[in-house]
Structure 1
Amino acid sequence: MRQFARQLAIATLPLTLLTATYGHANEEVELPSTMAWTAYGTNSSGYAQAVAIGGMLQEHYDTSVRILPGDNDVSRMTPLKQGRVDLCACGISSYYGAEGVLMFAHPDWGPQPLRVITTSTASFGLSLAVAGDLDVKTPADLKGKRVAYIRGDDALNKGTEAYLAFGGLTWDDVERVDYPGYGRSFDGIIADNVDASFTTTVTPPAQQLASSPRGISWPVLDPDDTEAWERMQAIAPYFRPHEVTSGAGGISADNPLPSASYPYPIVVANQDLDDKVAYGLIKALQDNHDDYKDAAPGAVGYALEYQDLQWVIPFHDAVVEYYEEIGVWTEEMQAHQESLVERQALLLETWNAFIEGAPDDEDAFREAWMSARADALREAGFDPVFE
């Protein structure tokens, strides 16, 4: 089931989503004259990629894209939830939203009816950066080491937990050191107050650690260790084996690292996004990939060969239609898609039944929802993943 394998309109203006009017140069692609997206902050690779895609859409289809940058998951996903934007170039929080867990296990949220349009998987990896003076070769070597826990950052902590699981470890097997922010944890490694923190291999803090007296190392993940990958994906099923070819500490195409990754950004829409828009987007992105792939770091990752067509969030129906038309969609992919759609429908049904008599206290609400969620998924034969 798992497959391993220019500039645009001013982005920081207040968002006003205009009524879509259709008309463009390509008869097969129907896109609105104006679209609005949310994305990561203006200094992020995700924002740069959205700019590059927007430039391509403007040039080829006269579609003006306005990007609303958001500093956190709430500011990126709330406009999508409210229908004020068409798409979110999100991170892994989109998966948490589809599942109704972590920050989404809240009365204001619950499971979100999200659909993937496309994703980008680039040359970097997502891993635990480890001080280079500890001789840590694999995740199992982290036993007894000091590992950073970032308060309020579910995605980073889940990534750490998944890496520990790969090595047969849990938080109980390491010394957890709490930090108020991600950057501070790397200051802590350099100061020898902690030994490891989760990040991407290309992030500036990792480069800073690599040039420090402690240096940097990255645990190797054996792509053939089936049991270890099962443990990791039981915690975070969105991880995939990945040969990392860019990163701090000398990672390159000539010196690759067997590690893990998941897509970033994950371009998602609500389930009810117009079929013509969804189909037009995926076709435009694939037909014109050469026009934007070098315009932003990581944009090469939108190529067809980097699309995981059996991932953890269902695709929009019109995107499936496109993949069927170009002959890459298989029966196995369709079965996986139907399972994901069924899972999401069950989650939404369970949420709607739960919310009516749910506790008012937030902690009690979260606990009761997570229990109801897990029970419903298990009864239907699904793995809850989150408890």
Structure 2
Amino acid sequence: MNNLKKILAGFALAGVIALNPVSADTASPLPSTMAWTSYPTSSANYAQLLALGNVLKKKFNVSVRVLPGDNDVSRMTPLRTGRVDLCGCGIASYYASEGVLLFADAAWGPQPVRVIRTSIADFGMGLVVAGDLEVKTPADLKGKKIAWVRGAPSLNLGTEAYLAFGGLSWDDVERVEFPGYNRSFDGIIQGLADAAFTMTSAPAPEQVAASPRGITWPELSPDDEEGWARMKNVAPYFQSHEVTSAAGGVVNKDHPHAFASYPYPVMVATRNYDSDIVYNLIKVIHEDYDEYKNDAPGATGYGIDSQNMFWVIPFHDAVVRYYKDIGIWTDEMQAHQDQLVRRQALLIKTWNAFVDDNPPSDQDQFREAWMQARATALEAEDMNPVFY
């Protein structure tokens, strides 16, 4: 964390200097100013977007304002209202596209978000387990005490997905409730819990690793097809990932670990955001990768080899056009893209019909009725609702 703070401080200084570049290399194909939302200033996400912004300033004299937000609503509301161009979001971008969890609310509903670029870096996302237990795979978690965090559906869904990989559910473990993310790791150290969901390179698991209990990361074999099918049935945004950065000092580049992850951040715009701007932006992100890949933690994850072309949110049409122009877009990718676009359109159409049909005013009843309408519409088109 101290290293990240130093990097961010350096970027802040660089940002001031960059306000007066010597000259732009060429007439800018982008707006003179752009605004992006991100995670808080202490996050790798914020540092990565600053790194991209510095490249845009250097090459095209584009001033990028990165606006930190403390939660998903504060990051995505400006995107929805058009106050910002892009959001450096997390997995909430998928929940927004699906109209679920906090977006299953009368103020939201499914959102027409489209991916511009994602980052899959050297870390993973999943369950950290106390090292004094004989847990080698998720199946070994049966009967263990698993953290459940109040008000954190993405964490709890990730935990549920890991349990599903091992053929387990919440019924097979002891669910221990905690009021917050950090408290769940205190619980592991104190023996109140045995496992909690996190990023492998976050500070919290380092605290567990330094405790008398120690730390372990269960293995998720990429060859376990049934396990991955169960996991993706719960949370389809997970993907197999070879982790080389994790708390505890055992996992590193020389000793990679078979684990799971999903993109973070997910750079999204709205469906109707200017295609020319998106085309020129993805061109810079792709072609000038070497200019920023080492300038922020995790920025190497923006490389083309790290992109999942078969993920869960459709790409912006201009991104597809660019990938076609450089010859990396296939018929299989297009078929997947078309399916995601149809799904998103169906969800938005179903939402509009639902809210026009005088739904319940009570928040809980509204959410329950919407989720039922959503599931019915998706199942009628042979699409998996995933969320119920």
Residue 61 of structure 1: aligned partner = 60
Question: What SS does the corresponding residue of 2:78 show, helix, strand or coil?
Answer: helix
Asked whether 1:325 is paired with 2:325, we answer yes
Q: Tell me the distance in 2 between the aligned counterparts of 1:26 and 1:367.
A: 54
Gaps of at least 5 residues in structure 2 are 1-10, 17-22
TM-score (norm 1): 0.94
User: How far is the alpha carbon of 1:369 from its aligned partner?
Assistant: 0.2
| CA displacement at 1:24 relative to structure 2 | 6.4
Report the counterpart of residue 218 of structure 1 in structure 2: 217
Q: Which has the higher helix share?
A: 2
Matches within 5 A, 1:157-236: 157-236=156-235
Residue aligning to 2:81: 82
Question: 1:310 deviation in Å?
Answer: 1.1
- Kept in 2, the 8 Å contact 1:24–1:30? The answer is no
Query: What value does the CA root-mean-square deviation take over the aligned residues?
Result: 1.3
The aligned amino acid for 1:233 is: K
In structure 2, C-alpha distance between the alignment counterparts of 1:275 and 1:47, rounded to whole Å: 24
1:180, distance to aligned residue in structure 2 (A) = 0.9
Question: How far apart, CA to CA, are the structure 1 residues paired with 2:256 and 2:333?
Answer: 29
Contact 2:33–2:62, Cα closer than 8 Å, also in 1: yes
Question: Could you say what secondary structure the match of 2:40 adopts?
Answer: coil
- The letter for the 1-side match of 2:339 is S
8 Å contact 1:147–1:174 — kept in the other structure?
A: yes
Shift of 1:26: 4.4
Question: 1:158 & 1:119 partners in 2: Cα distance?
Answer: 21
For the residue of structure 2 that corresponds to 1:36, the secondary structure is strand
| Match in the other structure for 1:143 | 142
CA-to-aligned-CA distance 1:80-121 (integer Å, 9 cap, x gap): 111100000000000000000000000000000000000000
Which residue in 1 is equivalent to 2:244?
245
In the other structure, the counterpart of 2:6 is none
Paired with 1:103 and 1:255, the residues of 2 have a C-alpha distance of 38
Deviations 1:268-288 (A, max 9, x none): 000111001110111000111
Task: Please give the TM-score of this superposition, normalised by the length of structure 2.
Answer: 0.93
> Is the contact between residue 238 and residue 261 of structure 2 (CA under 8 Å) also seen in structure 1?
yes
What's 2:269 paired with?
269
CA distance in 1, matches of 2:338, 2:61: 35
1:342 corresponds in structure 2 to 342
SS in 2 for 1:137: coil
Match of 1:154 in 2: 153
Quote the offset at 1:9 in angstroms: 5.4
Q: What corresponds to 1:41 in structure 2?
A: 40
SS of match in other structure, 1:213: coil
Structure 1 counterpart SS, 2:36: strand
- Aligned-pair distance for 1:30? 1.7
Residue 364 (structure 1) aligned with residue 346 (structure 2): no
Q: Distance in 2 between matches of 1:270 and 1:127?
A: 29
Aligned residues: 369
Q: Counterpart amino acid of 1:280?
A: N
- Offset at residue 208 of structure 1 (A): 1.0
The match for 1:92 is: 91
Does the 8 A contact of 2:15 with 2:54 survive in 1? Answer: no
**Amino acid paired to 1:41:** P
Decide whether the 8 Å contact of 1:129 with 1:199 is kept in 2: yes
- Alpha-carbon deviation of 1:380? 1.1
Match of 2:123 in 1: 124
Equivalents in 1 of 2:143, 2:344: separation in Å?
A: 39
User: Helix, strand or coil: the match of 2:126?
Assistant: strand
Aligned counterparts of 1:120 and 1:26: Cα–Cα separation in 2:
28
300 and 82 in structure 1: CA distance in 2 versus 1, 3 angstrom threshold: same
CA distance in 2, matches of 1:292, 1:72: 26
Cα shift at 1:151: 0.7
Task: Work out the CA distance in 2 between the residues paired with 1:63 and 1:179.
Answer: 44
* Structure 1 Cα separation of the partners of residues 98 and 255 of structure 2: 37
Instruction: Supply the distance in 2 between the matched residues of 1:189 and 1:254 (Cα, whole angstroms).
Output: 28
Letter in 2 for 1:175: E
2:111 match: 112
Question: Residue type of the partner of 1:355?
Answer: V
Secondary structure of the 1:109 match is: coil
CA-CA distance at 1:324 after TM superposition: 0.4
- Whole-angstrom CA distance in 1 between matches of 2:64 and 2:216: 40
Whole-angstrom distance in 1 between the partners of 2:315 and 2:119:
14
SS in 1 for 2:109: coil
2:374 pairs with 1:373: yes
For the 8 Å contact 2:24–2:58, the answer to whether it is kept is: no
Aligned to 2:354: 354
